[in-house]
A and B are shown apart, each in its own frame.
Chain A
Amino acid sequence: MQATWLVFRREIGQYLGSPLAYVMGAAFLLLTGITFNNDLTLSIGYKPLAPALIPTLLASILILFAPLLTMRLLAEEQREGTLELLLTAPISDSSIVVGKFLSAWAYFTILLALTLVYQVIAVSISFPDISHMLGSYLGIWLYAGAALAIGTLFSSTTENQILAAFLSLVTLIVLYFGDAISQIVSNTQLADILFNLTLRGHFMASFAIGVLRAEDIVYYAGIIVIAIFIAIQIVSSRRWR
């Protein structure tokens, strides 16, 4: 526990202390801000504000954003050799991986929380469905956890950060659009099953439209647990190589 916290704290310090993190954070807020602003403009006369607007946008942005946020986590430790010091410190291998993953998720949580400013604006000028809105935030938060866990997993497989980012990007794209192949076979049952396996399927069909389902929460939590478990095994296996 103690070690997880120490690793977490160092990593959060790295996120908040590096210029790159600020650039990414600024890009994140700019993108969400522009989208919100457009929606705001449309809301004058055309349609009401979309409560799940920003989380829905983030669902696709995260495909690229999660690999960028996590690629460094374990790959850099391997390249710099500091993983050898971590693995010879009196701490468990899992505390290293979990601490790192949680730091990425926490950093994302901070960025996500900043976009709540837009929601405050929305609430102050119109009457959006607040439970729909908050539900979609919960959804994207879980979704991000899963995407970041996958990024953490691939960061553990190599000492090359770019390769780690590429591998998680490909995996996330497959997990996001994976059901697209069902359009070729044109079997609605299969399409349904595949859709339910995708990251998108558990967000667009529920959180995004104001529905909270236990199965979606279980799906994202499951991905987090499995990805982190595998990452821990991979880090431990460094000892055997």
Chain B
Amino acid sequence: MIEVKNLVKKYGNFTAVDNISFDAHPGEIVGLLGPNGAGKTTTMRILTGYMPVTSGEVKVAGYDVIEDSMEVRQRVGYMPEQVPLYPDMTVEAFVLYWARLRQTEKPKQRTQDVLEQFGLLDRRKKLVRSLSKGLRQRLGLAQALVHSPSVIILDEPTIGIDPKQVVEVREVVRSLRENHTILFSSHILSEVEQICDRVVIINNGKIVAEGTTDILGEQTHSGLALYVHIDGEKAHIEQLLHDLPAVTDIQLHESGFIIRGHDEELRHAVMQVVADHRLELLEMRPVDRRLEDIFIKLVN
């Protein structure tokens, strides 16, 4: 549904997107993960027909973004990074306007449907300017979905809203998965890990890793990672932990260490060491740092 092949985008001499390829299928949420300036927005703007490619081939919903731009635009729902709204329109008029501009069949009915879907029906006569940040985000999603697009492109939809609303947006995105192909960008790793089936990590316009969230995690580390905080002298504790056969890797983290090893043995070995040396275990918890590892490694 989204096919990107050797996409290059230059702004003058500056290469913002440097020869990237990836695809996304119906029923799949693909995360575009990368720090600010990685090229996420640029990539999305090309997919939506906003700007032309410098080179490469990009197909959305089976149509070439350059040759069949109108076909693509009709089939894409897009929520830009800063949700663009007309403050002086009513909620209903706003959604209806986009429904009509995108030649939606039964625009009025569809408008009612999406307003209901996003819990905006009772506010439909309100001016857009009176909506809270969270409701604006929902309105942004409503306009992106009103024409029943097969591909949905959301540029950092959880940025700048409060945690409760973030959860809400994530749930909505998950619920849309069944009938759509979704491309979701973020610079927050845990979010992508939670929501997306697959992730494409980009940095400086290049793909640095790609795969399902599980596989990517395994590439860097198999097994378990634990955060342990043991009372005592750091160097001494480190030596003790290091000497454990179950531990394959150790690194300093906060006031303790992150150790890695193979499954349950690890937990057991730590308890053993603590008991043997009469140490005090202040904290021990599993850490889920699979993607974060890759991210940090790749991006730095």
Contacts and interface: CB of A to CB of B under 8 A. Distances in A.
Interface of A: 2-3, 6-7, 10, 14, 17-18, 80-91, 239-241
A120 B83 CA distance: 50
Contact of B84 (A7, A10, A17, A82): A82
B85 A80 contact: yes
A18 B88 contact: yes
B188 interface: no
Given A85-B98, A90-B103, A80 B48 contact: no
10 contacts: A10-B89, A10-B97, A14-B88, A80-B86, A85-B80, A89-B73, A89-B101, A90-B70, A90-B103, A239-B50
Interface residues of B, number: 29
Contact of B97 (A6, A81, A83): A6
Interface of B: 11, 45, 48-52, 70-71, 73-74, 76, 78, 80, 82-89, 97-98, 100-103, 143
A88 B76 contact: yes
B74 A90 contact: yes
A81 B88 contact: no
B48 A88 contact: yes
B267 to A, nearest CB: 51
Contacts of A240: 51-52
Contact of A88 (B78, B85, B87, B97): B78
A18 B86 CA distance: 13
A241 B9 CA distance: 11
Contacts of B71: 90
A3 B102 CA distance: 9
B42 to A, nearest CB: 12
Contacts of A80: 84-87
Contacts of A6: 97, 100-101
Contacts of A18: 88
Contacts of A7: 101
Contacts of B86: 80, 82
A241 B89 CA distance: 29
A180 B70 CA distance: 49
B71 to A, nearest CB: 8
B101 A3 contact: yes
Contacts of B76: 88
Nearest to B77: A88
B50 A84 contact: yes
Nearest to B69: A90
A3 B48 CA distance: 18
A99 to B, nearest CB: 10
A89 B98 contact: yes
Contact of B80 (A2, A81, A90, A91): A81
Nearest to A92: B70
Given A6-B97, A239-B50, A239-B52, A90 B84 contact: no
Contacts of B49: 87-88
A91 B101 contact: yes
B50 A81 contact: no
Contacts of A241: 11
A36 to B, nearest CB: 33
B289 to A, nearest CB: 36
B157 to A, nearest CB: 14
A89 B88 contact: no
Nearest to A7: B101
B52 A84 contact: no
A82 B85 contact: yes
Contacts of A84: 45, 50, 80, 84
Give the 7 A-B CB pairs with smallest separation, nearest first.
Answer: A81-B84, A90-B73, A82-B84, A88-B48, A90-B74, A90-B70, A89-B101
A241 B282 CA distance: 55
Contacts of A88: 48-50, 73, 76, 78
B222 to A, nearest CB: 43
A17 B76 CA distance: 31
A240 B82 CA distance: 20
Contacts of A239: 50-52
Nearest to B71: A90
Residue from A3, A87, A90 with most neighbouring chain B CB atoms (10 Å): A90
A89 B80 CA distance: 13
Contacts of B103: 2, 90
B107 to A, nearest CB: 10
